Structures are given as structure tokens and as C-alpha cells.
Structure 1
């Protein structure tokens, strides 16, 4: 469970990350419990992802009925949320930064909140026909560019690594997301 004080501190930390302020790290609880609580943004965003999955469900494009399809989509969502932190357990060891794992992963997980609010909102607006796929493509590209910049910042300050290594971690995150998505869409 998360207290109101912990939630407020984490959200303020996200605000500081958006301002590229290194003091942001001071507002995140970098403990195993804080790590577990840092998945709250994923839980909060899950209903939006489920609504998106329902809106894009096309029985002619999948072998599954809606119920099993939604189960697969929810499991895919969970896998996408835990795959990168799992991989980072090993990457931080390779970079000799294992003691800073929580210092990076807790802010990273909380930072997913603003990023995915934008992306899932855009998905839903496309799903209901309020914005075109072309406009979504532009917004997605812009959001991805911003994510790369901010993600590099979070990795750099969280792990205390150089900018190239930080960029490599963001690229790894992006590629892992693409691979996970491609594997799930084959079901």
C-alpha cells in the first residue's frame, strides 16, 4: 500500500524529472518497498490499456474471442511492465551499477505515468476517431523523441553513467518493448 505522503513525494519527483532537475531522485523511495510501489502508475494506467484493447479488438484479426484476447492483452501489459526492470537487474551488474538499481528503477517506473498518459490518451483518441492515424503518428514520434531525451536523463542521474551508456539503456528499453509487442501480437 502507498501512503498519501509517498504518493505526493513520487509525483513531485516526476514533476522535477520533467524539469530535468537532479533533485528529483530525493523524492523517490529507493527501497524494495518503494520499488514495489513504483508499479502503481502501471496499475493506474491498466484500465486505459484495457479500454484501448477492447476498442481495437477485431475478431477477424485474431484467433481469440474477446475474453481470452483481453486476458492475453492484460498479461502482455504486465510482461511489458516487468520485462525491462528484470533485464536491468543484469545490465546494472554488467555496468557495475547494481547498488544503484533502485535509484534508477523507482524513478523510471514513476516516469512511465506521464509518458503513458500521453500515449494511451492518443491511442484512445485514434480508436474513437477523434484524431487521425497520421496525427497520432506525428504525436507518437514527438513523444518518443521527448521520451528518449528524458529517459536518458533519468538513466544518467539514476545510474551515474555517461550519456552514451544512458542512451543505450533507453534504446534497450525501446527495443525490448518492440520485441515484447511483436511477440504478443502473434497470439
Structure 2
């Protein structure tokens, strides 16, 4: 199978899982080679993530301007890039003890593989929502509601992915919770290292 075919097969599996179709998991290559290959999803998703970051900046500018202030984007792009890279690595490391403690260590590789590819689909889901929120002329309340709905759908998707990979809804919930906490911790560490990504000043 060619490299492109392997990537497309994995993405198709992730897309099927996004439709809550368990058969999507069968598209993944659950081997040592497939495990390391799944981190290629970070490169596949990078352009989508970059566009998402640009939309986040525009959204921040709009909200700050609406408050009569000015946003200064200090380490914004560097912080986003660092957080993106760490997200993939930290998740894979944290899932080692979690799956062992939960007694589902045999599902570790499948979990990481499926989660990695599902992150690309999550970006695909988030992008149109961000576009509507930023360019649709929504007020602050509607903007927040749209984003909340999108993130709720993504969390449900990630829970389903983990449940299929590990065979336990409870452990899947723990996986999603740990991923959320880890993401918040990564953002905090990056802020401590690089400084505040967005500084707000009065006009």
C-alpha cells in the first residue's frame, strides 16, 4: 500500500468513527509500524491547525476591539505551535499508565493510533464552525454557543473513539478527561515559558 493510500485509509477510518460507525476502527493499522505512522497525522493536520489559529486570532481581535481595547499578539503563534506538538506527545505518554491502571493495556496502541487520526477529523469539524463564528457576524453569546456545541460534539466523538479502542465507556471518559486536563496544563506551561500569547491594552 502506498503512503498516500495508508493515510487516506486511516483518515477514512477516523471519519467513519466520527459518524459513530465502529467499523472505522478496522481501517487502522494496529501494529508497531502503524503506531509510529499515526504520528504523521500531526503533519497532515498542521495546515488545518494553522488556519484554525489564524481564525482564533481574528476572533480574539474582534472580541477585544468590541471591548474598546487593542490586542497585542506576543508569543501567540509560537505558543500555538508548541502546544500543538506537545499535545500529540503528552497524550501518548499519559495513556501508558492510564491504560495499565484501568487494565486495558492491550488497547493502548489502538487507542493512540485512533486518537491521533481522529484529531485531524476534529480539526475538520472545528474549522467551518470557527469560520461561521468569526465571519458570520455572530454576537458574543451566539459565538460562544456555536463553539460550545462544536466542542461538545468533538468530545463525544473522542469518547466514542476511546470506547471502541478500549471496550469500556468508563475508561473512555477517563481518557477524554485526562486529555482535557493535559491540554489545559500544556497551555499553562507554554504560557509560563513564553509569556502571555495575547496582551490586551487600552486604546
TM bin (shorter chain): 0.7 to 0.9
Cα deviation, 1:5-27, whole Å, max 9, x if unaligned, reads: 21232122123212322222211
Q: Could you state the TM-score of these two structures normalised by the residue count of structure 1? A: 0.79
Kindly state the Cα deviation for residue 53 of structure 1 after the two structures are TM-superposed. 4.5
Structure 2 counterpart of 1:108: 115
Structure 1 unmatched runs, 5+: none
Kindly state the Cα deviation for residue 119 of structure 1 after the two structures are TM-superposed. 2.3
8 A Cα contact 1:28 1:107, kept in partner:
yes
Moved over 6 A (4+): 57-60
Structure 1 counterpart of 2:181: 175
> Take 1:150 and 1:118, find their aligned partners in 2: how far apart are those partners?
11
Q: Could you state the TM-score of these two structures normalised by the residue count of structure 2? A: 0.73
Query: Which has the higher relative contact order, 1 or 2, with Cα contacts under 8 A spaced 6 or more apart?
Result: 2
Structure 2 counterpart of 1:141: 148
Structure 1 counterpart of 2:82: 75
Which range is displaced more, 52-61 or 86-95?
Answer: 52-61
Kindly state the Cα deviation for residue 41 of structure 1 after the two structures are TM-superposed. 3.0
Which of 165, 169, 182 is equivalent to 2:171?
165
Kindly state the Cα deviation for residue 158 of structure 1 after the two structures are TM-superposed. 0.4
For the pair 1:87 / 2:67, whether they are aligned, the reply is no
Kindly state the Cα deviation for residue 101 of structure 1 after the two structures are TM-superposed. 0.7
Calculate the aligned-residue CA RMSD, in Å: 2.7
> Take 2:155 and 2:83, find their aligned partners in 1: how far apart are those partners?
23
User: Which is greater in Rg?
Assistant: 2
Structure 2 unmatched runs, 5+: 62-69, 196-203
